[in-house]
Amino acid sequence: MNRSTRLARRGVRGAVIALGAGVCVAASALALLPLALLPYFPALILFLGASFVAYAWVVRRIVPGPDTWLPLFGFAGVVMNAGEGQNGFLTAALAGGERDPRVDLEAMQRLSDYWEGVRRYYAPFEADIRSGTSDVYRHEMPGGQYTNLREQARALGLEARWPEVSKAYAEVNRLFGDIVKVTPTSKVVGDMALYMVANGLTPEDVANPDKAIDFPESVVSLMKGELGFPADGFPPALQARVLKGKPPLQGRPGESIPPVDLAAAKAEAEKALGQELGQQDLAAYLMYPKVYKEYAEHQKLYGDVSALPTPVFFYGMQEQQDEISVDLQAGKTLVIRLLSRTDVEDEGVAKLNFELNGQSRVIRVPLAGAAKSAGERAKADEGNPAQIGAPMPGMVVRVAVQKGQSVAKGEPLMALEAMKMETVIAAPRDAVIKQIHVAPGLTVNTKDLLIELEPA
């Protein structure tokens, strides 16, 4: 509790309140075990009352003064997370006895059936963990990131090497100085772990100043201090290696950010996107400009896809089986039925024959990955310093140089992106661009030949 108070004085409040309050609610549950002798609802009221007193005491210690009242509104969320609330198991166990809560089990079962169906739809996004593991004590990966990182590994073709990824995560954490791993710092550790596994790097390679490494942009941002600095700082040698001679930020990152003219930013964003933006849209654009641009382009091309049923959105329609109704607005409904599908491999498209409100329609849809597939590209010769290969699978997002251009050591050549992880590839030495083998939008695999150099 004393450490929580010290953290709060430094401005770290939300996480401390949540953690301390959760512990307090759990502790109050143990202290109030005698309430089991009382009828259900009086015991529940006394339990919640005692828990709220304990929660308020924790909040008062962490946030003294007039601001204390605000976190008190979070009590309901703390109880839900710490106590899990009412459930069918407890209700069934107490049914028929003197502490029967008299809750409709059939209604609760309908809720369970609903969420079971929802979980089936979202099954591909689950981590597919088949057994418990104590590996968390080694890699210290947050629970939410554990599932996300496994999905990233799967997308990069590293699913079968997950034990290596979790081991690399622990190694990166130590390399970075055993930092606090929460969003977004935990993502940076995961980015570097995937990068190491994809490129066969060891901690010794990362620390070796003589080995050229194009660190992911998120790692550069972390070491620069754009996400803040840990209490004891970053390891100086690694920080200098990642920043390649550039100085880190001084002080808190927010202090050096110039103020934003929201009116001018809104006008500029609307001009760039070709649409009007509300306050929430503008905030999203300012925080995540690239992601929001992709979202806006998707909306222009496909419209509001949230109107589609969940299974159709994720898995598509089945021939001669599915007929869906899509409500576009009040009084305007589309009835869609897929009749047939024909893949035209030579053209990289699929021909879809379907009915739209009873009228036959045919459209041609590009096959996923066909138009900009990596295919079988030439591989970079690892023993040839004039060839630069892709450090990991991904999509080329930009090329910063042209054929015949002279570049200096460390100058950015191009950038790759994979699963929200961007990696900038820099010139390993002074040279001239002899040949560029890729273009923005193309997908590449690990070791694919990107650029050829010749002596300056």
Ramachandran bin of 379, using left for φ above 0, alpha for ψ from -120 to 50, beta for the remaining angles: beta
298: domain CATH number is: 1.10.10.60
pLDDT score for 15:
44
DSSP three-state, residue 208: coil
Examine the fold and report which residue of 70, 98, 121 is the final residue of a domain before the chain moves on: 121
**By the 8 A CB rule, do 241 and 219 touch?**
no
Residue with token string 């089990």: 105
pLDDT score for 13:
43
pLDDT score for 206:
95
Q: Is 378 inside a domain boundary? A: no
Q: Do 411 and 354 share a domain, yes or no?
A: no
Q: Residue 290 carries which side chain, given as an amino acid letter?
A: K
423: domain CATH number is: 2.40.50.100
312: domain CATH number is: 3.10.600.10
Examine the fold and report which residue of 221, 250, 279 is the final residue of a domain before the chain moves on: 250
Q: Do 162 and 214 share a domain, yes or no?
A: yes
Examine the fold and report which residue of 215, 250, 285 is the final residue of a domain before the chain moves on: 250
Q: Do 57 and 91 share a domain, yes or no?
A: yes
pLDDT score for 192:
96
Q: Is 31 inside a domain boundary? A: yes
pTM of the full structure: 0.65
Question: What pairs with residue 266 in β-bridges?
Answer: none
Q: Is 85 inside a domain boundary? A: yes
Residue 404 tokens read as 């015949």
Number of folded domains that form the chain: 5
Q: State the Cα–Cα distance between residues 234 and 253, nearest whole angstrom.
A: 15
Q: Do 224 and 244 share a domain, yes or no?
A: yes
Q: Among 213, 270, 218, which residue's Cα sits nearest to residue 244?
A: 213
Q: What is the DSSP letter of 176?
A: T
DSSP character string of 63-131: S-SGGGGGGGGGHHHHHHHHH----HHHHHHHTTSTT-----HHHHHHHHHHHHHHHHHTGGGS----S
Cα dist. 239→121, 168, 249, 251 in Å?
43, 18, 12, 16
Residue 17, burial from CB neighbour count under 10 angstroms (0-12, 13-18, 19+): buried
Q: Is 114 inside a domain boundary? A: yes
Q: Do 116 and 6 share a domain, yes or no?
A: yes
Name the helix (H) or strand (E) containing 269: helix 262-273
Residue 173, burial from CB neighbour count under 10 angstroms (0-12, 13-18, 19+): buried
Q: Do 117 and 9 share a domain, yes or no?
A: yes
Range of the domain at 14: 2-121
Sequence-ordered list of residues with C-beta below 8 angstroms from that of 250, at least 6 positions apart, any chain: 256
Q: Is 375 inside a domain boundary? A: no
119 φ/ψ angles, rounded to the nearest 5 degrees:
-65, -35
Q: Is 371 inside a domain boundary? A: no
Q: Among 320, 326, 325, which residue's Cα sits nearest to residue 339?
A: 320
Long-range contacts of 228-237 (CB under 8 A, 24+ apart): 228/252, 228/253, 230/177, 230/179, 230/180, 232/177, 233/177, 234/176, 234/177, 234/179, 235/175, 235/176, 235/177, 237/207, 237/209
Q: Do 170 and 226 share a domain, yes or no?
A: yes
Sign of the CA dihedral running 187, 191, 193, 198: positive
Question: Around Cβ 282, how many Cβ atoms within 10 Å?
Answer: 18
Residues in the chain: 456
406-407/359-366 β-pairing: unpaired
Residue 251 half-sphere exposure toward CB, CA atoms < 13 A? 4
Q: Do 13 and 66 share a domain, yes or no?
A: yes
Q: Is 288 inside a domain boundary? A: yes
Q: Is 411 inside a domain boundary? A: yes
Q: Do 266 and 285 share a domain, yes or no?
A: yes
pLDDT score for 22:
46
Q: Do 295 and 324 share a domain, yes or no?
A: no
Q: Residue 41 carries which side chain, given as an amino acid letter?
A: F
**By the 8 A CB rule, do 189 and 170 touch?**
no
Q: Do 156 and 216 share a domain, yes or no?
A: yes
Residue 120 tokens read as 């089936």
pLDDT per residue rounded down to tens, the chain (456 residues): 455 455 445 544 444 444 444 444 445 445 555 666 677 677 777 777 877 787 777 777 766 666 666 666 666 655 554 444 446 666 777 788 777 778 788 888 888 888 888 888 888 777 677 777 788 888 889 878 888 898 888 888 888 899 999 999 999 999 999 999 988 899 999 999 999 999 999 999 999 998 889 999 999 999 999 998 998 899 999 999 999 889 999 888 888 888 889 999 999 999 989 889 999 999 999 988 888 998 999 988 888 888 888 888 888 887 766 788 888 888 888 899 888 888 877 777 888 888 989 898 998 888 765 544 445 678 888 878 899 999 888 889 899 999 999 999 889 999 998 877 888 999 998 999 999 999 998 888 888 999 999 987
Cis, peptide link before residue 42, omega less than 30° from 0:
no
Q: Treating both helix axes as pointing N-terminal to C-terminal, what angle do 279-287 and 289-302 enclose, rounded to 10 degrees?
A: 130
Q: State the Cα–Cα distance between residues 213 and 211, nearest whole angstrom.
A: 6
Q: Do 285 and 313 share a domain, yes or no?
A: no
Cα dist. 28→23, 45, 59, 424, 445 in Å?
9, 13, 15, 51, 54
Our CA dihedral for 11, 12, 13, 16, rounded to 10 degrees, sits at: -150
